[in-house]
Amino acid sequence: MKKTILAVLLVLLWTVSATAAELKVGDKAADFSLKDSVGKTFSLQSPEFKGKVVSIFYAGVSEGDDNNAAQDALKNDKGLDRKTGYAGFGIANLKSSIVPNFVIKSAIKKKKDKTGAVILLDPDYTMINIWGLKNKASNVVVLDKDRICRYLYKGKMPQAEVAKLLSVIKEYQVK
């Protein structure tokens, strides 16, 4: 009987701790420390992001192209203040792929060299654990300058969500 009660309590404790880590719109996002393909460490306090609204695209290797329409819309939108108000970056979920990490890192380094994009590497589900992002899916998060979550979408975004994403970023980059 004691073992059964203990097992139930452990399951409840695990469930509560798992849901407590899930980032929701209106929540302050926990900071992280991740490296890019050349070993440079980034966090939300890095100079590239500090004081700016940030959009973060988090995806596994297989899902990396799911929200290309949103990435293209952000890249082409002239209303985003990239100098002082907005920055975007990606995080690759390395652990969700069967492709060896050195192959993924090499491809990401080539993309970074070609486009200048900041793409961080998550080798151990850091973002899934601290923000509750969905594994094996493309996740899009927008944080305001105070690191409050203002937008969160898990999965492939329909066109209406792309418009909403742009609207949220523009709203908060001037606040």
pLDDT digits (tens, 9 = 90+) for 60-76: 877 777 888 998 899 89
CA 39 from centre of chain: 18
Q: Domains in the chain and their CATH numbers? A: 23-173 (3.40.30.10)
Q: Has residue 12 got a pLDDT over 60?
A: no
Q: Which two tokens stand for residue 59?
A: 């995806």
Longest dimension (CA), the chain: 65
pLDDT digits (tens, 9 = 90+) for 100-147: 888 888 888 888 877 778 999 999 999 999 999 999 999 999 999 999
